[in-house]
Amino acid sequence: MDHILQTSIILNGVSVTRAIPARQHLVDFLREEMGLTGSHVGCEHGVCGACTIRVDGKIVRGCLMLAVQANGCKVDTIEGLSDSGELADLQRAFHEHNALQCGFCTPGMLMAAQDLVGTRPQATRDEIRDHLSGNYCRCTGYHAIVDAVEEVLISRRGGKK
Amino acid sequence: MKAPSFAYSKPATLAEVFDLLAHHGDGAKLLAGGQSLIPSLNMRLSSPSVLVDITGLPGLSGIVVDGDTVRIGALTTHAEIERSPEIARHLPLLAQAVKQIAHVAIRNVGTFGGSVAFADPAAEYPAVCVALDATFVLASQKGERRVPARQFFKGIYETELSRGEVLVAGEFKGIGVGYRSAFLELARRVGDYAIVGVAAHAQIAGGKLADVRLAFLGAGDRPILAGNAAAAVEGKVYGPAVVKAAQDALAKDLAPPADLYHSSATKLHLARVLTGRALTALGG
């Protein structure tokens, strides 16, 4: 029975194969083995959302998935989405609305926000709050975050409220 | 914290799963979505010697409607249940409940079978399954057996599943004519486990409440079907006196254990409040 498993993932578009200990969760693998420290480790039990990443197109908790479970999957992190420009308007809106203070929650917040903006373009403010309810900002900057996401939703809809 | 060391295996057939379970006994844990198991590993509340990842098994995922039976495969995710038009049409109680489970990123991964088999008394599915009188399909080397939800839950994290068995599906009877459903819970934050909640279901016939089922979560060591409260409103027309009768009867059904923040009396009070809201949603 294997404690270390050969694991292949498509990480931000690049094929990666590594021998990974079964006990290592995905966000630790990304940070410690791949040097992708944009995904943050907060609570390590699925409550805070700081480790939010995308696996096969869906947002997941990076601390609640073993890296070996991602074998054969497409994994996208904040670094990939930032470099590709997919998040550019959200990042700009966060900056302009002062929607980050210490910045610890910001990568997870952006991943969750991009999921909403991509899947539910008609979302209301209440729906934004509901969608981001699994991402904690301990600076409590929620109002500005919701403002930023709402602005992007409106602008991606072509400026219509 | 970090999980303790364990081995990992991802079999492709149920037969291999049974072999692994037989070989490793209590040291093996099944891994489905992992949204309860992995936090418990990270917090070192659990230390299995091997995780058996069942997400590669064919045929354990998806929702099938056959006549008036709805079968939900164990590996069906909360997000799939949430988006399913079949669930919305045939099992509206479940459709209401699934929205209250944690958050999007967790609903994308967590599974129906995992939540049922984990049997947290504050979780949503167990109460819904008890309210709707669902049946679980358990598979083992000896074949399949069916266990009613009302007998399946034995205590906190304890179920009828015996060593070597895998929960493969839940079966429900689709909603009948004139039935209404209401799922309500109170939690300190959106997505948290409920302090207390209720899965309610009844038929409204000629203005009267019939076949009333009130299953509570977070109010005992397993989902609790409140028989006395339901009997107090059975055959009655909805109104303030009928609601009060159900609320008063609740003390005979529930003796909720206190938690860190809520006394038993507080929880019983909150259960009474939810009973009132649920009956209003059903019959009001």
pLDDT digits (tens, 9 = 90+) for B199-223: 999 999 888 999 999 999 999 999 9
At B51-107, the pLDDT tens digits run 999 999 999 999 999 999 999 999 999 999 999 999 999 999 999 999 999 999 999
**Measuring CA to CA, how many Å separate A134 from each of A67, A107, B63, B174, B192?**
21, 13, 27, 32, 9
Of A24, A69, A134, the CB nearest to B106: A134
**CA contacts within 13 A on the Cβ side of B65:** 13
Domain count, chain A: 2
Q: Calculate ∠ Cα A127-B83-B198, nearest 5°.
A: 75
Q: Are A133 and B191 inside 8 Å of each other by CB?
A: yes
Between helices B264-283 and B240-253, what is the axis angle to 10°?
A: 140
B35, B51, B105 member nearest A22 (Cβ): B51
Q: What is the pLDDT, as a whole number, of residue B40?
A: 94
Task: Output the domain CATH number for residue A140.
Answer: 1.10.150.120
Measured CA to CA, the distance from residue A88 to residue A85 in angstroms comes to: 5
- Shortest CA distance from A66: residue in chain B: B38
Parse chain B into domains and list their residue ranges.
Answer: 7-53, 63-173, 179-283
Residue B154: strand, helix, or coil: strand
CATH number of the domain encompassing residue A63:
3.10.20.30
Q: In whole angstroms, what is the distance from residue B281 CA to residue B1 CA?
A: 43
What's the average model confidence in pLDDT over B146-175?
A: 97
Non-local CB neighbours of A41 within 8 Å, separated by 6+ positions: A27, A28, A31, A50, A51, A63
Contact status, residue A112 vs residue A131, Cβ threshold 8 Å: yes
pTM: 0.96
**Confidence grade of residue B1 (pLDDT, cut at 50, 70, 90):** confident
Mean of pLDDT values over B239-250? 97
Span A49-71, average pLDDT: 98
Does residue A98 fall inside a structural domain?
Answer: yes
List Cα–Cα distances, B130 to B54, B75, B172, B175, B194, in angstroms: 25, 20, 10, 14, 17
Query: Is B179-283 CATH 3.30.390.50?
Result: yes
C-beta atoms of A52 and B105 within 8 A: yes
Residue A144's CB: how many other CB atoms inside 10 A? 18
Residue pairs between chains A and B whose CB atoms are closer than 8 Å: 97
